């Protein structure tokens, strides 16, 4: 087995529609898993995105697709047969949907006791909120993640609850369940709540909320409300992030800007305007050098960086040297999984399937054709 494909041979049924589950199964595919998407007839995103949109490219790469109407007896029979093939099932519907389709955990695990059944939902399978609709900002709002930023609350440009509170916990739970199955021979049903996943991000906010005023003031650091951890504008309108929390970094910064008297004021909010005035005295190139080195501030000695656009990130020499980017067959660029195994990155799947592209082979697989899986995914890995 190639060391960069540690999940080679793992079989996954993907019933996901939206980001948390679909990204989870895309990551599994990137790690070598064999992922079959069970898609709905007439699948369309609520924003009416076409099949060439980057959203679909991000979430569909490396998977195999079949469109099934699960209310049709013949299509349902295909889905049920695939339960015997799968190691993992991932779904992201509201509680009760899979049960109404007669594909809930009890049914699925009666067919395949080794199946690891992953359920991602907004509020979990139980509790008074279980049937509420929601999106990422709803879970962040309820979990208290938006309140510290002041008024109006600031929405981050990435889905913290969907990915950080859904995809990541589900991945950890799934891998833990697979490890447990190796010992017990039995699968399990995993209930992941995006709301509770967002709550997990309050690891500092929650325990600190009833502490002393001095303790709560510590939270200002990570809200950028102290001079040593702040974002400043340059003379030419660009922005620089300063993260000089450790005393030696702050002292180095103070010496570099000719203000050694600031040495004891790293966490004094009243100093921010003075530091901002110093930053406005020079251009970005003067501060950091025309090529990110040789400027007034040395990123090798001080924790400091320019605030980049996404286009600028694509030109980063470090990320290019690390081969951090991959392209799919539609030409879209993607971040690769941020890990290596024995020095090798996981392969970056390039193919973005069209809906139902692999239906003949998947139907053959469901009917017991022993050659269908190899035609779909290539040779079965030897362990």
| Residue positions annotated with a catalytic role | 135, 162
* Alpha carbons 110 and 194: distance in angstroms, whole number: 27
Copy the structure tokens of residue 68: 């099934």
C-beta separation of 232 from 275 below 8 A: yes
Q: Token pair for residue 175? A: 């891998």
Q: 259 vs 84, 262, 302, CA distance in Å?
A: 69, 6, 15
Number of Cβ within a 10 Å radius of residue 84: 13
In DSSP terms, 65 is beta-bridged to: 37
Handedness of CA 105, 81, 61, 371 (dihedral sign): positive
- Listing from the earlier edge strand, what are the strands of the sheet with 304-306? 229-233, 239-243, 304-306
Does the CA dihedral 106-107-108-114 come out positive or negative? positive
| Residue 83 CB partners (closer than 8 Å, separation 6+) | 13, 89, 103, 108, 111, 112, 115
DSSP state of 152: S
Q: Is the dihedral of CA 126, 87, 67, 331 positive or negative?
A: positive
What lies within 8 Å, CB to CB, of 274 at 6+ separation is 227, 262
Q: Which tokens belong to 81?
A: 């047969």
| Contact of 359 with 365, CB cutoff 8 Å | no
CA atoms within 13 A on the CB side of 298: 7
CA angle, 321 then 327 then 330, to 5°? 165
If you ran DSSP here, which 8-state letter would residue 240 be given? E
φ/ψ (deg, to 5) at 141: -65, -45
- For CA atoms 196, 130, 110, 368, the dihedral sign is negative
Give the phi and the psi of residue 60 in degrees, each rounded to 5: -105, -15
């Amino acid at each position: 087995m190639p060391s960069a494909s540690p999940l080679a041979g793992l079989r996954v049924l993907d019933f996901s529609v939206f980001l948390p589950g679909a990204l989870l199964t895309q990551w599994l595919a990137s790690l070598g898993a064999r992922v079959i998407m069970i898609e709905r007839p007439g699948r369309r995103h609520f924003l009416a995105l076409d099949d060439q949109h980057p959203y679909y490219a991000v979430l569909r790469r490396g998977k195999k697709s079949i469109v099934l109407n699960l209310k049709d007896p013949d299509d349902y029979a295909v889905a049920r047969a695939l339960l015997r093939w799968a190691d993992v099932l991932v779904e992201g519907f509201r509680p009760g949907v899979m049960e109404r389709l007669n594909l809930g955990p009890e049914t699925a695990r009666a067919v395949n006791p080794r199946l690891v059944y992953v359920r991602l939902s907004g509020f979990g399978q139980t509790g008074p909120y279980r049937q509420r609709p929601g999106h990422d900002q709803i879970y962040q709002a309820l979990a208290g993640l938006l309140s510290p930023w002041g008024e109006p609350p600031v929405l981050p440009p990435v889905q913290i609850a969907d990915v950080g509170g859904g995809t990541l916990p589900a991945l950890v739970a799934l891998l833990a369940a697979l490890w447990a199955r190796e010992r017990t021979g039995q699968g399990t049903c995993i209930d992941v709540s995006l709301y509770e996943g967002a709550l997990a991000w309050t690891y500092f906010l929650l325990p600190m909320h009833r502490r002393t005023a001095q303790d709560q003031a510590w939270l200002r650091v990570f809200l950028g409300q102290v001079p040593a951890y702040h974002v400043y504008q340059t003379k030419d309108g660009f922005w620089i992030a300063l993260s000089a929390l450790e005393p030696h970094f702050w002292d180095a910064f103070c010496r570099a800007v000719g203000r050694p008297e600031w040495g004891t004021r790293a966490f004094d909010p009243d100093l921010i305007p003075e530091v901002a005035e110093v930053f406005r005295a020079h251009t970005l190139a003067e501060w950091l050098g025309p090529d990110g080195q040789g400027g007034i501030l040395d990123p090798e000695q001080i924790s400091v960086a320019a605030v980049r656009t996404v286009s600028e990130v694509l030109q980063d020499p470090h990320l290019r040297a690390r081969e951090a980017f991959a392209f799919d067959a539609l030409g879209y660029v993607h971040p690769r999984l941020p890990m290596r195994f024995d020095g090798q990155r996981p392969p970056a799947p390039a193919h973005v399937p069209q809906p139902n592209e692999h239906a003949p082979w998947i139907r053959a697989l469901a009917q017991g054709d022993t050659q269908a899986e190899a035609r779909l995914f290539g040779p079965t890995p030897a362990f």
